[in-house]
Structure 1
Amino acid sequence: MPNFALKVIRLAFAMLGRLAPQTAAKLAFALFCRTPSRRPKGEKARMTEAEGRERLAAAERMPFPAGKSTVMAYRFGDGRPGRRRYLVVHGWGSSAAYISALPAGLAESGAEVVVLDFPGHGLSSGRSLNMRQAVDTVVEAERRFGRFDAVVGHSFGGAASMLAAGGVMKGAGAISPSKLVVIGSPSDIHWLFDDFSRMVGLAPRVKALLIQHAEQVAGASLDDFDTVAAAARLGKPVLVVHAEEDKEVASHHARRFGDLATAQLHWANGLGHRRIVSDRGVIETIGAFLSEDMPPVHEAAGSGAAA
């Protein structure tokens, strides 16, 4: 966000927070949920998106309604009975095109793979997204396409898929995969509200009202947005892929899975937050985890991981 725009926003929230804190909290939530521009930033991003669109051209487009949004879904594979079926979801500010190497790679095993554009992203409608919308979208995808053997999520999408599997949000329903994979994903969400409130200068009272409003929208408290606790309740195999140098989602989010008997932690160091989702080695590791009956392993080191 440009410095001038941020200064104006901070001044506006300072004034409105004193006069009408409830209104300030609701406006802050709307800003918190506002999705970034879908236009690629820079030549590298344009090339990545173009390559992704090329991969998606080989998939079947299958849009469906989810809440007030029309969600674009792409299906790799022909959906014949007997195949493994995977759902892949992207992170905040991303799209199916940006992570297309992952579903395309997983489909090489013969699996049917569905990848979504969340509301406000890619070719889906809308300009906002919150965790409840994301969970509702994942649950609706299972209603539309049938049960998935596994769900693979990057960043925000990993958290959303884990919460959808855990049935955390009141009235949202739940999905029932046999395995889950989270890549560079946050395992709790309090820090996002802390960082956002600090960035836009919310007073403590307005921040508290913002969280209260977010919890009402979600149908769950922020304490329930804990993917490690959800995984523990589920008792299903989980592969956690992360890079220790990830600057967007710190590595402690992955380490929190360390004591979970059903979780396997794979360090993909050197790949950061975004390249990790398209790395061939990571895709092969995920494919192996999904296709084999693997016993729980406490921690597995990827290339470049510290010993």
Structure 2
Amino acid sequence: MSKIFTYILTKTIGLYINIVSYISPNKAKKLAYKFFSEPREGRLTQAQLPKILQEAEAEMVTHNEFIFQTYTWLGGSKKILLVHGWESNASRWELFIPYLKKENYTIIALDAPAHGLSSGQEFNIPQYAEFIDIIVNRVQPDYMVGHSIGGATSLYYQSHYQSNFIKKMVVLGAPSDLNTLLTNYRGLLSLNNNVSMLLKNHFTEHFKINPEDFSGSKFAASIKIQGLLVHDTEDEVVDFTEGEKIAKAWESAEFLVTNGLKHSMHDDSLYNKICTFLKTE
């Protein structure tokens, strides 16, 4: 019943935006971007903070008008930064953290814009990368692990900021092309060509981004550090072909294909392989 309700709701929203696009294109553009960029899940409150996050040293960092939340589990001198994905928060690493603790890493995780305890209503990769850069320059992590949109942001970050601190990167189930995300979003809401063009124009005007060029595979092509790229053949959220695109471009990365882990990619064997990759010279 809930799936039927969700289907009707998304199509109704799409129909409304389509109608508005002929009356007020600017309003339609803002509405289309709002539903594309505002997460509906992943928020936390202090009262409902998961146990794994309660165990960490928490700090709120101010950046311009934004506040974002970080968590640190102290260990040895080697540091690793964890970057979660869409409609999630730092607690998504709960099952992975024990493996990293066993290797005596100091672990740092953050809540993305508009996720967890971080401020904001809108999520976008360039802003997420700004948050990451602040953390990277403060704590100087040796490694970075990103999941889903967090993985795509990790690729964007390293290609644009070229951090000398990050020695290795692990990317799990990441989408490649912004155009693919926009196409999927358009299909979900049944948006017409007019709205689709308005939405693409928004990225050009607001972020100076050409959706055609905003691609994980293009970002990966400029990354020189060692990488481990992992994608599951049964990923129900990000199609396996997205991982293949990134793999073809990232020359210094190993492409690990899994089966049956789907998009969450929580798996003992995989976590052990990641740890082996990180500590192998």
TM-score, structure 1 length as denominator? 0.81
- In structure 2, the residue corresponding to 1:2 is in which secondary structure? helix
Q: Does the 8 Å CA contact 2:79/2:142 hold for their aligned counterparts?
A: yes
Q: Which residue of 1 aligns with 2:34?
A: 30
Q: Does 1:265 align with 2:255?
A: yes
Residue 39 of structure 1: CA displacement? 7.0
- In structure 1, the residue corresponding to 2:122 is in which secondary structure? coil
Kindly provide the CA deviation profile for residues 205-250 of structure 1, in whole angstroms up to 9, marking residues without a partner as x: 3211211212333333223322222222122211011111111111
User: Could you tell me which amino acid in structure 2 is paired with residue 143 of structure 1?
Assistant: N
Alpha-carbon spacing, 1:264–1:95, altered in 2? closer, same or farther (3 Å): same
Q: Does 1:211 align with 2:192?
A: no
Q: Does 1:162 align with 2:142?
A: no
2:9 to 5, 8, 25: 5
Give the Cα–Cα distance (whole angstroms) in 2 for the partners of residues 227 and 259 of structure 1. Answer: 9
Q: Does 1:126 align with 2:115?
A: no
Point out 4+ residue stretches in structure 1 off by more than 4 angstroms: none
Instruction: Identify which range, 244-253 or 205-214, moves more after superposition.
Output: 205-214
- In structure 2, the residue corresponding to 1:242 is in which secondary structure? strand
Give the Cα–Cα distance (whole angstroms) in 2 for the partners of residues 280 and 68 of structure 1. Answer: 40
Q: Does 1:286 align with 2:280?
A: no
Residue 16 of structure 1: CA displacement? 1.0
Q: Which residue of 1 aligns with 2:25?
A: 21
Q: Does the 8 Å CA contact 2:218/2:249 hold for their aligned counterparts?
A: no
Q: Does 1:56 align with 2:53?
A: yes
Residue 97 of structure 1: CA displacement? 1.1
Residue 89 of structure 1: CA displacement? 0.8
User: Could you tell me which amino acid in structure 1 is paired with residue 236 of structure 2?
Assistant: K
Q: Does the 8 Å CA contact 1:88/1:103 hold for their aligned counterparts?
A: no
Alpha-carbon spacing, 1:268–1:89, altered in 2? closer, same or farther (3 Å): same
Give the Cα–Cα distance (whole angstroms) in 2 for the partners of residues 237 and 6 of structure 1. Answer: 41
- In structure 2, the residue corresponding to 1:98 is in which secondary structure? helix
Residue 94 of structure 1: CA displacement? 1.2
User: Could you tell me which amino acid in structure 1 is paired with residue 73 of structure 2?
Assistant: F
Alpha-carbon spacing, 1:228–1:4, altered in 2? closer, same or farther (3 Å): closer
Give the Cα–Cα distance (whole angstroms) in 1 for the partners of residues 69 and 257 of structure 2. Answer: 31
Kindly provide the CA deviation profile for residues 97-136 of structure 1, in whole angstroms up to 9, marking residues without a partner as x: 1222223422321221111111221222233212222222
Q: Does the 8 Å CA contact 1:88/1:153 hold for their aligned counterparts?
A: yes
Give unpaired runs (5+ residues) of structure 2: none
How do residues 139-150 of structure 1 correspond to structure 2 at under 5 angstroms?
139-145=133-139, 147-150=140-143
Give the Cα–Cα distance (whole angstroms) in 2 for the partners of residues 23 and 250 of structure 1. Answer: 31
Residue 58 of structure 1: CA displacement? 2.4
Q: Does the 8 Å CA contact 1:159/1:187 hold for their aligned counterparts?
A: yes
Give unpaired runs (5+ residues) of structure 1: 41-49, 168-172, 294-307
Q: Does the 8 Å CA contact 1:239/1:265 hold for their aligned counterparts?
A: yes
Aligned residues: 272
Q: Does the 8 Å CA contact 1:162/1:227 hold for their aligned counterparts?
A: yes
